[in-house]
Amino acid sequence: MELTQFFKSIIDEDPCAVVICNLEHEIIYMNPSAGGRYAKRGGLDLIGKNLLDCHNSQSVVMINKVVGWFKESKEHNRMYTFYNEKENKDVYMVALRDEQGELIGYYEKHEYRNREQGEPYDF
């Protein structure tokens, strides 16, 4: 089994939306959570579309600034973008790099702050 299948499975099982883009801002992958989250905007049909077309002009400026910051240094890899109070979550842009550390894209990561409500090991 290919290692990429394991990584895809990790992303697909993440309950948080994950949207992966290349350096041309093309959406190259969305996990099922992202497809549901952005259903009103096209859901998984957004794959292949330009992420910048989904944002207002102020957001486009900031996305481009973050990608520029990622390009400045191999140490620049994670940028906090906002806190969503309604959903109690933080949103980040995260750099994607190849084995040599070169920037190849980025993704949007949502991290909820809510405490788990289930019991540990509740089979």
Q: Which residues, other chains included, contact 71 with Cβ-Cβ below 8 Å and sequence gap of 6+?
A: 103
Under 8 Å between Cβ of 106 and 21: yes
Per-residue confidence at 114, pLDDT binned at 50, 70, 90?
A: confident
Tell whether the torsion through CA atoms of 38, 43, 48 and 53 is positive or negative: negative
Q: Which residues, other chains included, contact 14 with Cβ-Cβ below 8 Å and sequence gap of 6+?
A: 31, 33
Per-residue confidence at 21, pLDDT binned at 50, 70, 90?
A: very high
Percentage of residues in the chain having pLDDT higher than 90: 86
- Taking 90 as the threshold, does the pLDDT of residue 39 lie above it? yes
- Taking 80 as the threshold, does the pLDDT of residue 67 lie above it? yes
Strand, helix or coil at 63? helix
**CA distance linking residue 109 with residue 27, whole number of Å:** 14
The model's pTM is: 0.89
Q: How many CB atoms lie within 10 A of CB 70?
A: 23
Cα–Cα distance list, 62 to 8, 66, 113 (Å): 28, 6, 24
Q: How many Å separate Cα 118 from the centre of its chain?
A: 26
Under 8 Å between Cβ of 119 and 109: no
Q: Which architecture does CATH list for 17-112? A: 2-Layer Sandwich (3.30)
